[in-house]
Structure 1
């Protein structure tokens, strides 16, 4: 990874207004921190919602249109995830980074279809997977011809509506590829509200600090202008108004650690 990367955005593409508000904040941060790479993230479909009644998104065509507008209007690289192999090619025509969702991280055809596009690939480590098993994911990507790819840690589940982050996983996974820490999904409580996931937003910043201290190549956040009204993953998203301060502190911590060679 050429530069330390911050991936951020609303969980799902609700509408242009929400995406543009977040993208504007990221654009301002990019100007303030030119040595950091800021990437706008949002999903056109959330295929793994807890309930069929939950909002999934407004479809690939609408989602790609919004992502293309974000890219053009704010000059930010954009990322979205795919769930089916056929989505890789049309998505690659718009996005800079294709993301493989955690539950699908071992799907060989999905990984190979993403690799074939030539785009950068971010693979979320499955909640069921050990860190050393991500080596097999990397080998699949290399076999498919992928040149730039990342692994993202987002916690491990033992059931009971909770996730646990083992920070030993970060240096283990970094043996195989650059590693991004997903600070917001790590505090998710899957299915914790019955038909939707809960979250413990208050732990996002402490866990992100821990990840920066251990050593990562990037950070991942979901942020929304009004998380309590977000249509997906609201409980574990950072309020957009608080996001710049969180980033400032984390960048300062990283710079301190680099300066002191800690």
Structure 2
């Protein structure tokens, strides 16, 4: 990891990967705090630097009536409270240029969704906040194409860039992960994260609700650590079946610790 990211994390000097994890969306304070407390306990024990993840609003939904959020300010204040309570950095998505400064007032990392990774105005607005900017690779792009996203942010005066792979479009209703992309994106001089849950989505279902293959989260995560990913992104929830967003591909919270224990062992074996 580069120095700027270490500064944003609890630096345990463990040589571990870092973890971005939390619910897909902020559904309310109680469940968000429950998730954060559990993950902080696990990552502290395993010496894994941790960033709490939660979307304050979901702008990209298949159906118009799908859950989008509990209100921007309310959700952002929950993210801010979690960061202060547990002394961890926080990350959330932004969708339009005008949201960058608003979200930056509450969180440490601004995330650019995969479908928006080519939006120049959005990247520049995020860069100008001075926050770390995590750009998700579009599932329609090659890993090599992401160098232009990095250039846009760096040329705007911000070298605090992270890239996250979340799979590549494979047909109409599936994604596939090409692990060659991780070292290719690392060659741009930025930390690279593997999104272990969104890469298992099955989009464009006839029901209008995205499907997924959460049983393969461990497979994706193990391979990413073996390849040398700097970090992992995992959406997790105590009751995925009833989560208000992306429940079909989230990891059950009770399974997280066992998975991370295995991944730490792999990390130690490959470094």
The answer as to 2:135 corresponding to 1:123 is yes
1:206 to 193, 214, 219: 219
Matches within 5 A, 1:1-262: 1=1, 2=3, 3=6, 4-34=17-47, 36-176=48-188, 177-192=190-205, 194-258=207-271
Question: Structure 1 length normalisation: TM-score?
Answer: 0.95
2-side partners of 1:29 and 1:92: how far apart?
Answer: 27
Question: Structure 2 length normalisation: TM-score?
Answer: 0.92
Residue aligned with 1:94, SS: coil
Indicate conservation of the 8 Å contact 1:27/1:75, yes or no: no
What is the deviation of 1:193?
5.4
Indicate conservation of the 8 Å contact 2:167/2:178, yes or no: yes
Structure 1 segments of 4+ aligned residues over 4 angstroms from their partners: none
Indicate conservation of the 8 Å contact 2:46/2:261, yes or no: no
2-side partners of 1:159 and 1:84: how far apart?
Answer: 28
Farther-moved stretch of structure 1 (186-195 vs 171-180): 186-195
Gap runs ≥5 in structure 2: 7-16
Aligned residues: 257
1:6-38 alpha-carbon deviations (Å, 9 max, x no partner): 00000011111111111001211232133x210
1-side partners of 2:159 and 2:149: how far apart?
Answer: 13
Gap runs ≥5 in structure 1: none
1:100-119 alpha-carbon deviations (Å, 9 max, x no partner): 00000010000000000100
Indicate conservation of the 8 Å contact 1:45/1:59, yes or no: yes
RMSD: 1.1
2-side partners of 1:115 and 1:20: how far apart?
Answer: 29
